[in-house]
């Protein structure tokens, strides 16, 4: 009989690629993870992982079991949801991880909405970029992630996650008031090819959006300054340190002294925001009201 907790460990190892990283995500010791993997191999009668200089990878038998693992764990999430519904599920805590602008734009309004419509649900919010929040959901560190589509992100049909689209917003060009294009109604992205750039660090989903947009315009941006805080990005642009692309919602309420904000001429790069939960948990009586509240906040 295969134990479900060992399937969690197998999936964590597949996601994180090393025993040490999987152990950290699961709050276990590497020795405990190795022992559980060995026990799972005994239960199945197959070698499931191979260790190498760059970490571990699943064997063909391990890949077969991983496919079934996604289905089994999703079904267990559904079972927990139905049991919680049977027990009324009217009170409990849901943990949400989201990036800073997403917290301001949809999470905080959703928290206020839930305080009125579902006062028994307590929301705990953690600030985390999209590339960090999705692994946190998979590792059961949080229940819901509000994340941004990015290169390498799990696809909408990923068997581990259920996606709920929330909103999409364009990036605008932010240039110093002294910039040659400051008076333009719209900024052609290709005209910024020779400028120094300010932007998020690699790994931040917005970094991918900016780089891909510039590549589509025919150039690689020369990123001279890096910050994941858009207030810092705008401040550097106001100091004539370079140009930037910033999501429109991130500019709300910001001090824009020294810069001008202009839409992109043509197809603007877009930040697509979604909520994600472990597949099977989307109908949980505590999680479903949170997802509904996030949808409503996104509509507003």
Q: What is the DSSP string of the chain?
A: ---HHHHHHHHHHHHHSSHHHHHHHHT--HHHHHHHHHHHHHHHTS--EEEETTEEEE-HHHHHHHHHHHHHHHHHHHHHHHHHHHT---SEEEEEEE-HHHIIIIIHHHHHHHHHH-TTEEEEEEE--HHHHHHHHHTTS-SEEEEE--TTPPPTT-TTEEEEEEEEEEEEEEEETTSTTTT-SSB-GGGGTTSEEEEPPTTSHHHHHHHHHHHHTT---EEEEE-S-HHHHHHHHHTTS-BEEEEGGGGTT---TTEEEEPBSSS--EEEEEEEEETT-TT-TTHHHHHHHHHHHHH-
pLDDT at 245: 97
Q: Angle CA(179)–CA(182)–CA(184) in degrees, nearest 5? A: 135
pLDDT at 85: 64
**In which residue ranges of the chain is pLDDT below 50?**
none
pLDDT at 235: 96
pLDDT at 119: 87
pLDDT at 88: 63
Burial class of residue 24, CB neighbours in 10 A (0-12, 13-18, 19+):
middle
Identify the CA nearest to 135 among candidates 284, 32, 12.
12
Beta bridge partners of 246: 172
Say if pTM beats, i.e. exceeds, 0.75: no
pLDDT at 175: 97
For the beta carbon of residue 230, count every other beta carbon within 10 angstroms: 22
The residue extents of the domains of the chain are: 4-82, 90-167+272-298, 168-270
Identify the CA nearest to 15 among candidates 40, 43, 41, 49.
49
């Amino acid at each position: 009989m295969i134990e479900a907790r060992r399937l969690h460990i197998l999936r964590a190892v597949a996601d994180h690629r090393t025993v040490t990283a999987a152990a950290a995500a699961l709050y276990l010791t590497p020795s405990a993870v190795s022992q559980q993997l060995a026990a799972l191999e005994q239960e199945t009668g197959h070698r499931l992982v191979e260790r190498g200089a760059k970490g571990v990878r699943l064997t063909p038998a391990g890949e077969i079991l991983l496919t079934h693992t996604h289905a089994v764990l999703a079904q267990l999430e559904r079972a927990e949801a139905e049991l919680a519904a049977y027990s009324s599920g009217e009170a409990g805590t849901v943990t949400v991880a989201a990036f800073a602008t997403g917290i301001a734009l949809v999470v905080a309004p959703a928290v206020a909405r839930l305080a009125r419509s579902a006062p028994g649900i307590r929301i705990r919010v953690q600030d985390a970029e999209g590339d960090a929040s999705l692994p946190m959901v998979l590792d059961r560190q949080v229940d819901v992630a509000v994340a941004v589509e990015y290169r390498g992100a799990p696809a909408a049909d990923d068997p581990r996650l259920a996606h709920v689209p929330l909103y999409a917003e364009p990036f605008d060009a932010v240039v110093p008031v002294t910039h040659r294009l400051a008076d333009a109604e719209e900024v052609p992205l290709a005209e910024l090819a020779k400028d120094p750039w300010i932007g998020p660090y690699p790994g931040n989903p917005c970094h991918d959006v900016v780089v891909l947009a510039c590549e589509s315009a025919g150039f690689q941006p020369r990123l001279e300054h890096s910050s994941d805080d858009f207030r810092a990005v705008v401040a550097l642009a106001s100091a004539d340190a370079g140009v930037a692309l910033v999501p429109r919602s991130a500019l709300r309420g910001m001090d824009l002294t020294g810069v001008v904000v202009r839409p992109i001429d043509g197809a603007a790069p877009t930040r697509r925001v979604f909520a994600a939960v472990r597949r099977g948990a989307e109908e949980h009586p505590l999680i479903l009201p949170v997802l509904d509240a996030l949808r409503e906040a996104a509509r507003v």
